[in-house]
Amino acid sequence: MTNAFAVISALLTTEIVRENEPMSKHTSFKIGGPAEVFVTPHDTCQLKTVWKTCQENGYPITILGGGNNVLVSDNGIKGVVVVTHKMNKININEDIINVGSGTKLYALAETAQKAGLSGLEFAHGIPGTVGGAVYMNAGAYNQEVKDICESVTVMLPTGELVTHNKDNLDLGYRKSRFQKETAIIVEVQFLLKYEIQHNIKIKMDELMAKRRISQPLDKKSAGSTFKRPATPGYYASKMIDECGLKGFLIGGAQVSEKHAGFVINTGNATAADVLALMEAVQKRVHTATGIWLEPEVQMIGF
């Protein structure tokens, strides 16, 4: 893959192209082997150049935002990894916000608050980027991205930009149409509501306080490890807790003692540790309840 680095770095500045970049530096788990080629484009033109080059040369390509909901293999990621965090422009037009997919959710929520626009308060404490939030239809406290998302613009493999309106996004519980398509989210449009800035700030602070009390925000994790079961009335964290698994440890990976829905890296966990722990939790919960927990964390490089 040295050739891929040479080819892509010749087309773009070496400032945004790296070779054998440790993914542990770019994931919230702080876990993951090297990306053979690591690219951080600033705009859609650079993104198009990277994708076109990968297609023409047969290089595998992986798209990441903030690396917050992923577990990267200890062996790293083959091919080219594109991280969109520099594609982070925010434009406000009355109650509409157009935002680059690499924008951090907390930054977007704060910008909306200062503009007197309500609707993103729930996203203030969610780690990650706007693109990842749309891809997974992120949500918290009975609100989801789908409640405020008006449209999503994606780049197709041809380099063409296509905009899908809210009725064509197939947003559901932790899912979207983009999980089944070969397309890269580049911009999202949100429709918000006018509100007094102070009132928005109060709500944001209240929700953040709840998170701090209930979630291990000071630990290395990928957020909620498992999805909520489809069976009504069942919740992953409650089921794991009732199985006595809080604090359960394999290697450097541990079920959080604060919130059983989180697996944390205690400091030296490997991806293999996390996988082994997740599988052990799944088996224990299945034995006790008959329900097999589905991972919410995205596995990359396995």
- List the catalytic residues: 174, 224, 296
CA–CA separation, 16 and 93 (whole Å): 31
Element (H, E) at 62: strand 61-64
Tokens 């903030």 sit on residue:
66
Encoded tokens for 247: 């604090």
CA–CA separation, 83 and 243 (whole Å): 38
DSSP code for 142: T
Under 8 Å between Cβ of 224 and 262: yes
Under 8 Å between Cβ of 285 and 243: yes
DSSP code for 87: -
Q: What is the per-residue DSSP string for 149-161? A: EEEEEEE-TTS-E
- Report the phi/psi class of residue 179: left, alpha or beta, with left for phi > 0 and alpha for psi in -120 to 50: alpha
Helices (H) and strands (E) in the chain, counts: 7, 19
CA–CA separation, 72 and 199 (whole Å): 39
Mapped onto helix, strand or coil, the DSSP state of residue 22 is strand
CA–CA separation, 196 and 14 (whole Å): 45
Question: Cα 31 vs. chain centroid, distance in angstroms?
Answer: 15
Mapped onto helix, strand or coil, the DSSP state of residue 2 is helix
